[in-house]
Structure 1
Amino acid sequence: MAALFGARVRRLRIAAGLTQAELGDKVHVVSTRITQIERASGAKPTRELARALDVALGADDLLVELWPYVYREAFPDWSRKFMEYSERAVVIRQYAAHVVPGLLQTENYARAVLRVGRTLSSAEQLEERVALRMGRQERLGTADRPELWVVLDEAVLRRPVGGQTVMREQLGRLLGAAAEPDITVQLLPFDQGEHDVMGGSLTVLTMPDGSEIAYTEGAHYGQLIEDPDEVRSFALTYDRLRAAALPPLMSLDMIRSVMEDNHRGTKVPSRSERRRLAQEQLQQSGGGRLRGGGRRVPRGRSSGP
């Protein structure tokens, strides 16, 4: 993609009758930087430089639209491929153990997360990474948005990433997102004990053709799983996490409690109490009986033993 980007810049530059030095003057970089871009050597262009080149060469957003693909090449193959799958998925199911998933992060929270755990050479690179993450969220507002189901470990709420102000804003974002028709948020409380995905995160993607892909990730690694048998195993693991989590309505109550800084005195209800309270909430809202993990069961159908 960097080579394609460079070839487009060169073609547009020649068509505009500009030398590399003249183009460099227009976008405020030295001519050798233009040489590097055209040859796909050296550092990849920044988003701002891609935008400046687009304007200077009258590219009608061609270079701006190519830039995310160029920048994505900086990620490992498995991470890049996962992002490509995610952009086409019709259902995204995620479990997060430590931080809010990228699709639901606020800009300030994303900046705090991306500032640590990665080696970024400049503040500019950090802002580019934040912009790229925010850009991926835009799909949630489109007509072909995926169904998003997120299970958050209780630790995600308790850790004030970026400080109390940033965290409060982030919790508000979760509450707002959960009100959207295609987004469900659940909390997995500490008292559920050990489970199969401790220490990492899990995402299961459903593609337009019905096939599924799984992705696991830790602090410094990730693994894309495409083998159907393995994916089915991870999908089952996710369903177990979803069933063990608080129902959606109770999960939102817990988020509000933490947001109001009352969580130290909040007692997580027992499993039987959760089901009773959840049933009351569903009855008040006109819903059906509750099934494991907070899913509703149509009236008149048995939910099993």
Structure 2
Amino acid sequence: MMGDTGRRRRSGPRQAAWEFFGAELKNRREEADLTQAELGMRVFVSGGYIGQFEQAIRKPQLDVAQRLDHILQTDGFFERMWRKLIKDSPYADYFAAAAELEALATQICEFAPTVVPGLLQTAPYARAVTIATNPLAADEYVEEKVAARLERAHILKDATRPVYWAILHEGVLRLPVGGRATMAEQLDHIAALMRTRTVLVQVLPNEEGAHAALGGMMTLMEFEDAPPTAYAEALLSGNLLDDPALVKRVQATYDLIRAAALSPEASLALVESAAEDYRRCASTT
């Protein structure tokens, strides 16, 4: 059973809709006289995963929803509901499922080679990134995306927040997204979170560039009562990985990058120094 933390995070109308999805899955499975293990075998996931889908602890990926429809002969019901829930998400289609899991994680480890991770972004930084990727978007669209990103970061403010560990490539600190003032504010925000021990951040220095080539943006998530999951993101695309062998490989890659990163103390000094450089340059222009 999930603890109080999981139950508190799993609230709201979207979660209620996923719970309906899970209840329907259980009803249709029992009507088909299948155990969780038997259904899992037929749709190529474990029986434990079927149980997590039914409890709305974990959300299935699209291909699993499609196979559920095929095996349970539900005429596309689970695929249609899955698409509706993802469409209504404030996040990009390829990230929506990862965002759902992020709110349930007990530990999150990220590597960011180009931009500040969403959970650490300030509003001006998030706005600059959104406009850069959507230059013709209406203000309402931009503000919706910024608000959704800031809402995600609320999990770091909870008393029962997940353990959060991020590795930033030094280039993330040096790229003036949104201008010098925005970057100074952004790096001050990260430094404040580091000083209060809300998050653990390390910087991968430019001298370790080969390690940055090991992968793009990657996230590893651990859960109280579910297997770990990895998420890898590239330009306008993302892959949620829950195959144990693949997750293990992503973890190994992350460990190599972490080993090459600066210590948390040296990383904080570098973040603060970069913020001061931006602030000094902004004041002279």
TM-score category, normalised to shorter length: 0.5 to 0.7
Partner of 1:85: 101
Partner of 2:117: 101
Partner of 2:92: 75
Partner of 1:211: 227
Per-residue Cα deviation, 1:13-45 (whole angstroms, up to 9, x for no partner)? xxxxxxxxxxxxxxxxxxxxxxxxxxxxxxxxx
Matched, 1:159 2:172: no
Displacement, 1:98?
A: 0.7
Alpha carbons of 1:74 and 1:157: their partners in 2 closer, same or farther (altered >3 Å)? closer
Structure 1 residues not aligned, in runs of 5+: 6-67, 263-305
Displacement, 1:196?
A: 6.2
Larger Rg: 1
Partner of 2:161: 145
Partner of 1:273: none
Q: 2:144 aligns with which of 128, 137, 141?
A: 128
Alpha carbons of 1:74 and 1:161: their partners in 2 closer, same or farther (altered >3 Å)? closer
More helix by share: 2
- Higher relative contact order structure (alpha carbons within 8 Å, sequence separation ≥ 6): 2
Displacement, 1:80?
A: 1.1
Seq. identity, %: 38
Alpha carbons of 1:176 and 1:196: their partners in 2 closer, same or farther (altered >3 Å)? closer
**Matched-pair contact (CA < 8 Å) for 1:117–1:219:** no
Residues of 2 paired with 1:112 and 1:97: CA distance?
A: 17
Which aligned runs of 4 or more in structure 1 are off by greater than 4 angstroms? 196-199
**Matched-pair contact (CA < 8 Å) for 2:170–2:205:** yes
Q: What is the count of residue pairs matched by the alignment? A: 199
Larger deviation, residues 217-226 vs 91-100: 217-226
The code of the aligned residue for 1:72 comes to S
Matched, 1:250 2:238: no
Partner of 1:259: 275
**Matched-pair contact (CA < 8 Å) for 1:115–1:126:** yes
Q: 2:197 aligns with which of 173, 176, 181?
A: 181
Alpha carbons of 1:194 and 1:110: their partners in 2 closer, same or farther (altered >3 Å)? same
Partner of 2:243: 227
**Matched-pair contact (CA < 8 Å) for 2:211–2:256:** no
Matched, 1:200 2:234: no
Per-residue Cα deviation, 1:227-286 (whole angstroms, up to 9, x for no partner)? 001001101111111111000000011112212229xxxxxxxxxxxxxxxxxxxxxxxx
